[in-house]
């Protein structure tokens, strides 16, 4: 078996291993090296015997991973195959998923019109969550792992029991589809953003909207909430916050907007903290710490920013021109997925980039993790489970 190999010589030391023939460089302004790898056979314990073409070095090879380097360019990538895959949870594309805090359950939404809870170990379906009128765009577990929050194209935000699939709360107030959600601390308050350009704060106990945190005038594609660095001025609320607000003090809400803007707003004050303009629409964002954030755009850029000074990014990561669809903090780095099937992990303590393989060219819409296990969902309708315990 021969495979085309591509190394892109940029900051991320990105490298991709394609098993299905030639691969065209999507970023012509960056140097690209081509080579090939060939499997000559299997060892007695079932590990492939791999050799690479001139200029490339095959490092450690296991049944699930292969490390390939280009010493001349000082770049390395480890490719990891899924430990297992679940193809029977949904019939069509899976657009969102999450894993419970204990790692036992998964929840996912699909373009087949369903949202399901399943066993994370084997993909066995446990519950069918029915109640949204149109597609479900986003779903996530509360920290307890017993309750699910979802948002749909019907502009409704719903809370579900993972134990009996009942819908215990429905929030109404958005005027267009809900695109993302976030949970404040343990979950007495939750947040949502919408195509209507607003981000709203909700009181779960009273099933009521506590206020519009931001009205951006453009669809808000993604949000994230996190504790702010002590040196940041988050502003002062124009009126005292409701006693029903719990855990909003000292936090920033990030807003990834369709109009190329990434905005930070004081969650309790509702006052702007920073505004950064990117190269294209922002699709997703997340906190790496109280100081550092990352956000991804439609044209494939991942911006790393220091919230204390957003005049210029710390760095811009660009592996391809495909949309950045999902960002997830992981250990001392993050996981990113893109619209061309790319899904990779960058960590400070690794001297290589880790690529999660097998999605081919299908968009990887969402990534979730629990301890050393990573789950991805894709346009091909498959949930893939990767184990990092051996790395």
Q: Would you give the end-to-end CA distance of the chain in angstroms? A: 25
Q: What is the pLDDT of residue 390?
A: 57
Q: Cβ neighbours of residue 199 under 8 Å, at least 6 residues apart?
A: 191, 192, 193, 212, 213, 214, 216, 220, 223, 253, 255, 265
- Mean pLDDT across the stretch 381-387? 96
- Mean pLDDT across the stretch 197-219? 97
The closest of 286, 280, 282 to 262, measured between CA atoms, is 282
Q: What is the pLDDT of residue 46?
A: 82
Reported as type and span, the H/E element at residue 324 is strand 324-330
The larger pLDDT score, comparing residue 177 to residue 347, is at: 177
d(CA 117, CA 296) in angstroms, rounded, equals 28
- Mean pLDDT across the stretch 34-38? 79
The closest of 291, 290, 288, 225 to 256, measured between CA atoms, is 225
- Mean pLDDT across the stretch 333-357? 91
Q: Is 244 exposed, middle or buried (0-12, 13-18, 19+ CB in 10 A)?
A: middle
pLDDT band at 52 (very low <50, low <70, confident <90, very high): confident
The larger pLDDT score, comparing residue 22 to residue 316, is at: 316
d(CA 303, CA 352) in angstroms, rounded, equals 20
- Mean pLDDT across the stretch 249-254? 97
Pairing of strands 156-161, 147-152: antiparallel
Q: What is the pLDDT of residue 33?
A: 61
d(CA 252, CA 226) in angstroms, rounded, equals 6
pLDDT band at 25 (very low <50, low <70, confident <90, very high): very low
Res. 347: pLDDT tops 80? yes
Q: How do residues 369-381 score in pLDDT, each as one tens digit?
A: 999 999 999 999 9
Q: How do residues 150-207 score in pLDDT, each as one tens digit?
A: 999 999 999 999 999 999 999 999 999 999 999 999 999 999 999 999 999 999 999 9
- Mean pLDDT across the stretch 54-73? 89
The closest of 69, 21, 96, 12 to 378, measured between CA atoms, is 96
Q: Which of 50-64, 111-125, 212-226, 237-251 has the lowest mean pLDDT?
A: 50-64
Q: How do residues 289-332 score in pLDDT, each as one tens digit?
A: 999 999 999 999 999 999 999 999 999 999 889 999 999 999 98
Reported as type and span, the H/E element at residue 238 is none
**pTM score:** 0.91
Pairing of strands 353-356, 75-80: parallel
Q: Choose the most confident range, by mean pLDDT, from 1-5, 72-76, 131-135, 210-214.
A: 210-214
Mean pLDDT of the chain: 90
């Amino acid at each position: 078996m021969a495979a085309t190999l591509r190394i892109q010589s940029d900051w991320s030391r990105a490298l991709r291993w394609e098993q299905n023939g030639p691969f065209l460089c999507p970023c012509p302004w960056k140097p690209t090296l081509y080579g090939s790898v060939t499997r000559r056979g299997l060892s007695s314990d079932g590990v492939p015997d791999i050799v690479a073409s001139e200029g490339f070095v095959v490092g450690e090879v296991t049944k699930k991973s292969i490390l390939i380097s280009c010493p001349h360019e000082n770049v390395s990538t480890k490719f990891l195959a899924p430990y297992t895959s679940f193809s029977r949870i949904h019939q069509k594309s899976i657009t969102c998923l999450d894993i419970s805090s204990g790692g036992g359950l998964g929840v996912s939404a699909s373009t087949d019109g369903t949202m399901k809870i399943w066993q994370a170990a084997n993909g066995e379906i446990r519950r069918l969550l029915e109640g949204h009128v149109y597609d479900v765009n986003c779903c996530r577990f509360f920290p307890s792992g017993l309750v699910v929050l979802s948002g749909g194209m019907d502009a409704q935000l719903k809370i579900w029991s993972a134990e009996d699939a009942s819908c215990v709360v429905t929030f109404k107030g958005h005027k267009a589809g809900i695109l993302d959600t976030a949970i404040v601390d343990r979950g007495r308050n939750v947040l949502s953003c919408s195509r209507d350009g607003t981000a709203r704060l909700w009181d779960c106990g009273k099933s009521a909207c506590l206020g519009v945190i931001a009205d951006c005038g453009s669809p808000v594609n993604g949000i994230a909430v996190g504790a702010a660095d002590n040196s940041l001025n988050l502003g002062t609320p124009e009126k005292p916050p409701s006693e029903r607000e719990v855990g909003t003090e000292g936090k920033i809400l990030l807003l990834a907007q369709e109009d190329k803007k990434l905005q930070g707003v004081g969650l309790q004050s509702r006052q702007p903290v920073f505004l950064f303009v990117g190269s294209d629409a922002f699709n997703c964002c997340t906190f790496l710490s109280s100081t550092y954030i990352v956000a991804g755009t439609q044209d494939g850029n991942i911006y790393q920013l220091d919230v204390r000074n957003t005049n210029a990014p710390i760095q811009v990561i660009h592996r391809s021109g495909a949309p950045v669809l999902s960002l997830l903090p992981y250990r001392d780095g993050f996981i990113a997925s893109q619209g061309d099937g790319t899904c990779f992990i960058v960590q400070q303590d690794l001297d290589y980039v880790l690529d999660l393989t097998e999605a081919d060219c299908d968009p990887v819409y969402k990534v979730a993790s629990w301890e050393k296990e990573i789950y991805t969902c894709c346009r091909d309708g498959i949930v893939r489970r990767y184990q990092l315990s051996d790395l």
